[in-house]
């Protein structure tokens, strides 16, 4: 969930406005509550000032819709004349280092990553929306990159800060991550509680579907 922490913090810190949300019959039937308002847990934020769009989800995208969603993201990015797509994630390891790893969709993007000290992954595998997205971008020669930090904790604010610092270098947008590091424990607690609530709600809904007499 490092990517979700990054995206959520980025949207808030840059004062971005929610411009749209994602919906699908494949998504869990859940509404998130933020700042007293019900919102979709899959949202899109934008900043005209920074020429930046952020897309993130507070739940794991179901496997059966990953390919379709990835295609839609690329099509939408082309329609909006996006310069590049960056996916933020983490690599689980018992003894994390400060190295930032990357996967590039084009040789040109690979050079950009190397220029900024990102260590390119030569062999391996990646999954989910970011995995399919980078492969599709490579097939279509659309500029994209997956950038990843090492962590031993899926809800790691400090790792998220390192990732945002690197993204800041890559896109040329100042991102102050001091608050994320300072309030790391509180951020981790809030994200953990939100994710647990999402899982509990989804499990409860599934149970009601299977046992309607108790709904």
pLDDT surpasses 60 at 215: no
SS3 state of residue 202? helix
Res. 205 pLDDT band, cuts 50 70 90: very low
Written as one string, the DSSP assignment of 57-101 is ESSPPPHHHHHHHHHHHHHHHHHTT-S-EEEEEEEE-SS--S-EE
> How many angstroms separate the Cα of 32 from the Cα of each of 37, 53, 136?
8, 20, 30
Angular region, 81: left φ>0, alpha ψ -120 to 50, beta rest: left
Res. 213 pLDDT band, cuts 50 70 90: very low
Pull the structure tokens for residue 6. Answer: 């990054």
SS3 state of residue 127? coil
State residue 182's pLDDT score: 79
C-alpha–C-alpha distance, residues 167 and 163, integer Å:
6
Question: Is 205 a domain residue?
Answer: no
State residue 188's pLDDT score: 56
Query: Which long-range contacts link 172-177 to residues 24+ away (Cβ below 8 Å)?
Result: 173/14, 173/50, 173/52, 175/10, 175/13, 175/14, 176/13, 177/9
Half-sphere exposure of 166 (CA within 13 A, CB side): 28
Q: Nearest Cα to 5, choosing from 131, 192, 197? A: 192
Question: Is 184 a domain residue?
Answer: no
User: How many independent structural domains does the chain possess?
Assistant: 1
State residue 83's pLDDT score: 96
More confident residue, 70 or 192: 70
Question: Is 215 a domain residue?
Answer: no
State residue 32's pLDDT score: 85
Q: Which residues contact 117 (CB under 8 A, 6 or more apart)?
A: 100, 166
Question: Is 211 a domain residue?
Answer: no
pLDDT surpasses 90 at 204: no
Question: Is 182 a domain residue?
Answer: no
Mean pLDDT score across all residues of the chain: 87
Residue 134 · residue 103 · CB < 8 Å = yes
**Interval 133-180: pLDDT, tens:** 999 999 999 999 999 999 988 778 889 999 999 999 999 999 999 888
Question: Is 138 a domain residue?
Answer: yes
Q: What is the CATH number of the domain that holds 138?
A: 3.40.50.10900
Res. 111 pLDDT band, cuts 50 70 90: very high
Which domain covers residue 56, as residue numbers? 2-174
| Weakest mean pLDDT among 11-15, 27-31, 209-213 | 209-213
Question: Is 186 a domain residue?
Answer: no
C-alpha–C-alpha distance, residues 83 and 188, integer Å:
32
Mean pLDDT across 73-85: 96
Question: Is 189 a domain residue?
Answer: no
Residues comprising the chain, all counted: 215
């Amino acid at each position: 969930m490092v990517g979700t922490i990054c995206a959520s913090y980025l949207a808030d810190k840059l004062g971005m406005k929610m411009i749209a949300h994602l919906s699908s019959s494949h998504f869990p039937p859940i509404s998130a509550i933020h700042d007293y308002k019900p919102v979709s847990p899959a949202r899109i934020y934008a900043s005209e000032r920074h020429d930046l769009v952020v897309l993130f989800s507070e739940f794991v995208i179901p496997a059966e819709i990953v390919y379709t969603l990835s295609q839609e993201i690329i099509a939408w990015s082309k329609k909006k004349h996006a310069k590049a797509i960056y996916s933020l994630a983490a690599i689980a390891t018992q003894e994390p280092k400060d190295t930032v790893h990357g996967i590039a969709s084009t040789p040109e993007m690979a050079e950009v990553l190397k220029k900024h000290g990102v260590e390119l992954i030569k062999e391996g595998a990646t999954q989910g929306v970011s995995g399919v997205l980078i492969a599709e971008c490579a097939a279509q020669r659309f500029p994209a990159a997956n950038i990843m930090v090492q962590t031993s904790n899926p809800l790691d604010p400090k790792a998220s800060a390192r990732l945002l610092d690197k993204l800041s270098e890559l896109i040329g947008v100042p991102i102050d991550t001091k608050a994320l590091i300072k309030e790391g424990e509180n951020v981790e607690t809030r994200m953990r509680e939100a994710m647990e609530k999402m899982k509990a709600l989804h499990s409860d809904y599934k149970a009601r579907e299977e046992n309607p007499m108790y709904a």
